[in-house]
Amino acid sequence: MSKTLFDKIWDAHIVTTAEGGQDVLYIDRHFIHEVTSPQAFTGLRQRGIPVFRPVQTIATADHNVPTQNQHLPIVEPLSRSQVEKLTENCAEFGVELYGLGHPYQGIVHVIGPELGITQPGQTIVCGDSHTSTHGAFGAIAFGIGTSQVEQVLATQCLLQKRPLRMRITVDGQLAPGVLSKDIILYIIAQLGAAGGTGYFVEYAGSAIRALSMEARMTICNMSIEMGARGGLIAPDNTTFEYLRGREFAPAGADFDAAVAQWQHLFSDADAVFDREYQFRAEDIAPMITYGTNPGMGIRVSETVPEAPAAGDSLASFSKSLDYMGFRPGERLIGKSVGYVFIGSCTNSRIEDLRLVARFVQGKQKASSVQAFIVPGSQQVARQAKAEGLDQVFVAAGFEFREPGCSACLGMNEDKVPAGEYCVSTSNRNFEGRQGPGARTILASPLTAAAAAVTGTIVDVRDFDLEN
Amino acid sequence: MEKFISVNTTAVPLPNEDVDTDQIIPARFLKATTREGFGDNLFCDWRYQPDGAAKTDFVLNNPLYQGQILVAGKNFGCGSSREHAAWALADYGFRVVVSSFFADIFKGNALNNGLLPVQVSPAFLHDLFTAIETDPASRFSVDLEQQTISIDRTGASETFPIDPFRKVCLLNGYDDLDYLLSLREQIATWEQQQPFSITAATLTP
Please report, for residues A22, A147, A392, A424, A432, the alpha-carbon distance to residue A159 in angstroms, rounded to integers and kept in the order given.
6, 11, 49, 36, 33
pLDDT of B205 strictly over 60:
no
Range 236-255 of A in CB contact (< 8 A) with B: 247-250, 254
Mutate to test the interface with B, among A147, A191, A415 (most CBs of B within 10 A): A147
Backbone angles phi, psi at B51, to 5 degrees: -85, 5
Single-letter amino acid, residue B108:
G
Q: pTM (2 decimals)?
A: 0.97
**Beta bridge partners of residue B118, listed in sequence order:** B98
Which chain A residue has the Cα nearest residue B50? A436
Residue B175 binned pLDDT confidence (cut-offs 50, 70, 90)? confident
| Closest residue of chain B to A294, computed from CA coordinates | B79
Contacts with B22 from chain A: Cβ below 8 Å: 409, 428, 430-433
Kindly state whether residues A151 and A300 are assigned to the same domain.
Answer: no
Put simply, the answer to whether B177 touches A151 (Cβ < 8 Å) is: yes
Position A358 pLDDT exceeds 50 = yes
Residue A325 forms part of a structural domain: yes
Residue A254 located in a structural domain:
no
What's the pLDDT at B144?
Answer: 98
- At residue B202, the pLDDT reads 44
Nearest by CB to residue A155, choosing from B22, B74, B187, is B187
Statement: residue A121 has pLDDT above 90: yes
> In this complex, is the C-beta atom of A69 within 8 Å of any C-beta atom belonging to chain B?
no
Please write the tens of the pLDDT for every residue from A132-148.
999 999 999 999 999 99
Cβ of B198 within 8 Å of Cβ of A56? The answer is yes
Q: How many CB atoms lie within 10 A of CB A444?
A: 31
CATH number of the domain residue A337 falls in: 3.30.499.10
Asked if residues A2 and A268 have their Cβ atoms less than 8 Å apart, the reply is: yes
Q: Output the pLDDT for position A310.
A: 84
Whether the CB-CB separation of A101 and A55 falls below 8 Å is answered with no
Is the per-residue pLDDT at A426 higher than 90?
yes
Q: Give A 187-206 residues with CB within 8 A of chain B.
A: 193-194, 197-198
pLDDT at B204 over 50: no
Report pLDDT digits (tens) over B101-139: 999 999 999 999 999 999 999 999 999 999 999 999 999
Which of B177, B186, B190 is the best mutation test for A, with the most CBs of A within 10 A?
A: B177
Note which residues in 337-366 of chain A have CB less than 8 A from chain B.
none
Nearest CA-CA distance, residue A310 and chain B, Å: 13
Q: For residue A188, what is the DSSP state?
A: H
* A156 contact residues in B (CB cutoff 8 A): 187
Reported as type and span, the H/E element at residue A170 is strand A164-171
Name the domain boundary from A160, A194, A222: A160
> A377 — contact with chain B (CB < 8 Å)?
no
Nearest by CB to residue A411, choosing from B20, B30, B103, is: B30
Q: Is residue A239 part of a domain?
A: no
From chain A, the residues in CB contact with B81 under 8 A are: 36, 127-129, 143-145
Mean pLDDT estimate for chain A: 97
Q: Measured between CB atoms, does A436 come within 8 Å of chain B?
A: yes
> pLDDT tens digits, residue range A4-18?
999 999 999 999 999
> Cα dist. A60→A98, A105, A314, A353, B116 in Å?
5, 6, 42, 22, 33
Identify whether A74 is part of a domain. Answer: yes
pLDDT at A312: 87
Residue in A63, A161, A247 closest to B163 by CB: A161
Per-residue pLDDT, averaged over B157-168, amounts to: 95
**Count of domains observed in chain A:** 2
Chain B contact set for A64 (CB, 8 A)? 31
Report the gap between the CA of B154 and the closest CA in chain A (Å): 26
Q: Do B31 and A64 touch (CB under 8 A)?
A: yes
Residues 22-61 of A with CB under 8 A from B: 22, 24, 26, 28, 35-36, 38-39, 42-43, 49, 52-53, 55-56, 58
Q: By percentage, how much of chain A surpasses pLDDT 70?
A: 100
- A186-196 per-position pLDDT tens digit: 999 999 999 99
| Residue B174, Cβ density class (10 Å: 0-12 exposed, 13-18 middle, ≥19 buried) | middle
Q: Is A143:A124 a contact under the CB 8 Å cutoff?
A: no
Q: Is the pLDDT of residue A36 over 50?
A: yes
Residues of chain B contacting A18 with CB distance shorter than 8 Å: 165, 179
Residues A376-389: pLDDT tens digits? 999 999 999 999 99
Position A1 pLDDT exceeds 90: no
Which of A108, A137, A160 is the endpoint of a domain? A160
Dihedral sign of CA atoms A128, A214, A95, A254 in order: positive
Q: Which are the contacts of A383, defined by CB distance < 8 A and separation ≥ 6?
A: A350
Number of H helices, E strands in chain B: 8, 8
What is the rounded CA–CA span in Å between residue A345 and residue A58?
17
A85, A118, A130, A157: which to substitute to probe chain B, counting the most B Cβ within 10 Å?
A157
How many C-beta atoms surround the C-beta of residue A120 within 10 A?
A: 25
Residue A257 lies in a domain: no
What is the mean pLDDT of the segment spanning A112-135? 97
ipTM of the complex: 0.95
Alpha carbons A354 and A341: distance in angstroms, whole number? 15
Domain boundary among the residues A128, A160, A192 is at A160
Query: What 8-state DSSP symbol labels residue A97?
Result: E
Report the side by side order of strands in the sheet with A96-98.
A96-98, A57-60, A29-32, A123-126, A140-143
How far A67 CA sits from the closest chain B CA (Å)? Answer: 16
Confidence grade of residue A465 (pLDDT, cut at 50, 70, 90): confident
Measure the CA–CA gap between A205 and A219, rounded to whole angstroms: 13
Percent of chain A with pLDDT over 90: 97
Q: How many CB pairs under 8 A join A and B?
A: 214
What number is the average pLDDT over the span B50-57? 95
The pLDDT of residue B197 is above 80 = no
- Test B31 with A155 for CB contact under 8 angstroms: no
Q: Closest to B104 (Cβ–Cβ): which among A49, A155, A227?
A: A227
Residue A449 forms part of a structural domain? yes
> A residues 269-308 near B, CB within 8 Å?
293, 295
**Pairing between strand A57-60 and A29-32?**
parallel
Alpha-helix residue ranges (DSSP H) falling in A249-399 = 253-262, 314-324, 350-360, 378-386, 389-395
pLDDT digits (tens, 9 = 90+) for A246-287: 999 999 999 999 999 999 999 999 999 999 999 999 999 999
Task: Clarify whether residues A298 and A156 are in a common domain.
Answer: no
Count how many Cα atoms sit within 13 Å of the Cα of residue A35 in the half-sphere of its side chain: 30
pLDDT class of A98 with cuts at 50, 70, 90: very high
Residues 6+ apart with CB under 8 A from A106: A60, A62, A98, A114, A375, A376, A377, A378, A379, A380, A403, A404
A225 in a structural domain:
no
Tell whether the model's pLDDT for residue B200 goes beyond 60: no
Tell me, yes or no, whether A322 lies in a domain: yes
| B 128-187 → A contacts, CB under 8 A | 163-166, 168, 175-177, 179-181, 183-184, 186-187
Indicate the pLDDT class of residue A467, thresholds 50, 70 and 90: low
Which domain, by its residues, includes A76? 5-160
**C-beta atoms of B50 and A198 within 8 A:** no
Is residue A404's pLDDT more than 90?
Answer: yes
Give me the residues of A, 213-232, that contact B with CB < 8 A.
Answer: 224-225, 227, 229
DSSP-assigned beta bridge partners for residue A456: A336
Strand spans (E) along chain B: 6-9, 11-14, 69-72, 96-99, 116-119, 140-143, 148-151, 157-159
Specify the pLDDT at position B203.
46
- Do both A447 and A300 map to the same domain? yes
